[in-house]
């Protein structure tokens, strides 16, 4: 999703992802954790991505995990802000929350500018999930070779 750097876009991203995950049968508690992490990452992009006018949310879902990336075009993040805030702080708890509800978190500066947050969450499935998503069917992903891949395979 390509979103404007506006507060209302955070809700749009959260609801869109939650609806998609519910549609394939991801358990509610798992969806809630993903929604909280996404909300915090998007809120950070909206609030802190100075000079950036928009940001992207990229989601990859497999049988066992969901990877959510939030990428902005701002000036990046001060490395000192990556530490946990003091217990008495009223703000700055977003990364702490993301770490608490996900199974992996990676952050990196982008060149020439921007910041990317990549979150990984192991998926748990509800009773309504299709067997294909729970690992009892065939693999839902297909690899389609690109023309460049085909040319390289032919030695060009």
d(C-alpha 80, C-alpha 16), whole Å: 32
Query: pLDDT (tens digit, 9 = 90+) per residue, 4-55?
Result: 999 999 999 999 999 999 999 999 999 999 999 999 999 999 988 877 889 9
d(C-alpha 2, C-alpha 72), whole Å: 10
Residues 6 or more apart whose CB falls under 8 angstroms from that of 63 comprise 123, 133, 134, 135, 140
Q: Please give the sequence-ordered ranges of beta strands (E in DSSP) within the chain, or none if there are none.
A: 2-4, 54-61, 65-72, 104-109, 115-122
| Average pLDDT value for residue range 58-84 | 81
d(C-alpha 93, C-alpha 84), whole Å: 7
Q: In this predicted structure, what is the pLDDT of residue 92?
A: 59
Confidence of residue 141 (pLDDT cuts 50, 70, 90): very low
The whole domain housing 120 covers 2-129
d(C-alpha 6, C-alpha 20), whole Å: 22
CATH code for the domain in which residue 121 is found? 3.30.565.10
pTM of the model: 0.78
Is the residue at 60 inside a domain? Answer: yes
Is the residue at 146 inside a domain? Answer: no
Mean pLDDT highest for which of 49-53, 85-89, 100-104? 100-104
Instruction: Check residue 98 and report its DSSP letter.
Output: H
d(C-alpha 19, C-alpha 16), whole Å: 5
Mean pLDDT lowest for which of 1-5, 16-20, 137-141?
137-141
Confidence of residue 138 (pLDDT cuts 50, 70, 90): very low
Is the residue at 35 inside a domain? Answer: yes
Is the residue at 148 inside a domain? Answer: no
Torsions phi, psi for 121 (to 5 deg): -135, 125
Is the residue at 55 inside a domain? Answer: yes
Torsions phi, psi for 104 (to 5 deg): -165, 145
Q: Strand, coil or helix: what is 145?
A: coil
Is the residue at 39 inside a domain? Answer: yes
Mean pLDDT lowest for which of 46-50, 83-87, 117-121, 130-134?
83-87
Domains contained in the chain, number: 1
Q: In this predicted structure, what is the pLDDT of residue 135?
A: 60
pLDDT at 133 over 90: no
pLDDT at 66 over 60: yes
């Amino acid at each position: 999703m390509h979103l404007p750097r506006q507060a209302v876009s955070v809700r749009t991203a959260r609801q869109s992802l939650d609806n998609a995950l519910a549609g394939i049968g991801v358990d509610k508690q798992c969806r809630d954790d993903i929604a909280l992490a996404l909300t915090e990452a998007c809120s950070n992009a909206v609030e802190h991505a100075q000079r950036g006018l928009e940001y992207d949310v990229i989601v990859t879902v497999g049988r066992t995990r969901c990877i959510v990336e939030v990428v902005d075009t701002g000036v990046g993040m001060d490395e000192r802000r990556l530490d946990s805030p003091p217990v008495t702080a009223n703000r700055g708890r977003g990364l702490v929350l993301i770490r608490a509800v996900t199974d992996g978190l990676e952050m990196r500066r982008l060149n020439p500018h921007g910041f990317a947050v990549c979150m990984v969450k192991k998926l748990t499935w509800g009773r309504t999930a299709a067997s294909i998503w729970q690992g009892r069917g065939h693999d839902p992903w297909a690899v389609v070779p690109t023309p460049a891949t085909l040319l390289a395979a032919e030695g060009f």
